Structure 1
Amino acid sequence: MFLRSLPFATAFLLLAGPLFAQGASIGFGNSDHDSSLPVEITADQLDVNQTDGRAKFTGNVVVGQGEMRLTGEVVDVEYGDAGTGTTEIKRLHATGGVTLVNGSEAAEGQEAVYTIESGEVVMTGDVLLTQGDNAMAGEKLTVNLQTGTGVMEGRVRVVFQPQEQQGAAQ
């Protein structure tokens, strides 16, 4: 019996071994994300400081851009250069039970920083990524929405669900 499971164990270690190192590369969402799309934000409250070009959304905050959704209790928004009158958003910093959803994937963490121009989202604090029935957890997830790629870092833990065999149940 041990010899039968040896090829499976060897294959698993060769394929999944790198995932248990300090970082693991993953796919996230699709590579069709367009960071030039409008950003829509809803919240219970908004505080604006025009002097430093920032706005603070508080309470049930939902940020949407295309298919991507970012939620949290507080989202600080940093606009273009203060004093220029531009309303272009440069960066979003979400805190408090943050969730990022893009397509069929979702990630949860304590906080996230989304840099609009680069399409990069960095999530930290007990991050959990779910992709279908599979799950990955770590301390930091960096996602590039434009390429649909990501890296999980910090004692990465992965749960893979086996795929059902084709034609097994007929």
Structure 2
Amino acid sequence: MLRLILALTLVAGAATAQDSTIDFGGFEQNSGAPIEVVSDQLDVDQQDGTAVFTGDVTATQGDLVLTGERVEVFYTTGEDRQIRTLHVTGGVTLVTSEEAAEAEEATYEVVDGTILMTGDVLVTQGDNAIAGERMTIDLETGTGRVEGRVRTIFQTGN
């Protein structure tokens, strides 16, 4: 319902552009925090170093919460395997205490501290909303870029 209301609001009175750079100060990475994944099912393949979580999946690292229907985890190679990448599909939501984003899929590069969200991306920051086809967030700098027929609503406080 929230997505429908925001989409209608965006269509009714949004400024448009091809891409937009925005502040994502609320999306921060706590790289030292463990990543907890909760799901209905887990399949592990030791041969290729992947784990696939399916069914109402929630992945949490510090204040960063990613949800979707499927999360594929890729590990680094070597003796001390660490999580390298999370690929999330199926009704993806990314939430922090200050911001929320929705998309069709997301790739969280844990080592690089970046998140790429694609497919009907919708971001809310308080009363402001931004929509586009693709969004990249740099968790180290707190900046992001939204591309692909970007629509924005910024409340003026009037």
Deviation at 1:157, TM superposition (A): 0.3
Contact 1:29/1:102 (<8 A) preserved = no
Say yes or no: does 1:120 pair with 2:118.
no
Counterpart-to-counterpart distance in 2, 1:97 and 1:32: 22
Deviation at 1:23, TM superposition (A): 1.1
Match of 1:151 in 2: 145
SS of 1:21's equivalent in the other structure is strand
Deviation at 1:85, TM superposition (A): 4.0
Runs of 4+ in 1 over 3 A off after TM superposition: 29-32
Higher strand share: 2
Contact 1:30/1:145 (<8 A) preserved = no
Per-residue Cα deviation, 1:8-64 (whole angstroms, up to 9, x for no partner): xxxxxxxxxxx7332101111437532232111111100000000000000111011
Counterpart-to-counterpart distance in 1, 2:112 and 2:60: 16
Structure 2 gap ranges (5+): 1-14
Deviation at 1:94, TM superposition (A): 0.1
Match of 1:10 in 2: none
SS of 2:129's equivalent in the other structure is strand
Say yes or no: does 1:21 pair with 2:5.
no
Match of 1:110 in 2: 104
Counterpart-to-counterpart distance in 2, 1:111 and 1:86: 28
Over alpha carbons, which structure has the higher Rg?
1
**TM-score, normalization by structure 2:** 0.86
Counterpart-to-counterpart distance in 1, 2:146 and 2:96: 16
Look up the equivalent residue of 1:20 and give its one-letter code. T
Say yes or no: does 1:129 pair with 2:129.
no
Equivalent residues, number: 144
Counterpart-to-counterpart distance in 1, 2:100 and 2:40: 23
Q: RMSD in angstroms over aligned alpha carbons?
A: 1.5
Per-residue Cα deviation, 1:54-101 (whole angstroms, up to 9, x for no partner): 0000011101111000000000000111xx343310000000000011
Match of 1:78 in 2: 74
Contact 1:31/1:147 (<8 A) preserved = no
Taking only the aligned residue pairs, the percentage that are identical comes to 53
Structure 1 gap ranges (5+): 1-18, 165-170
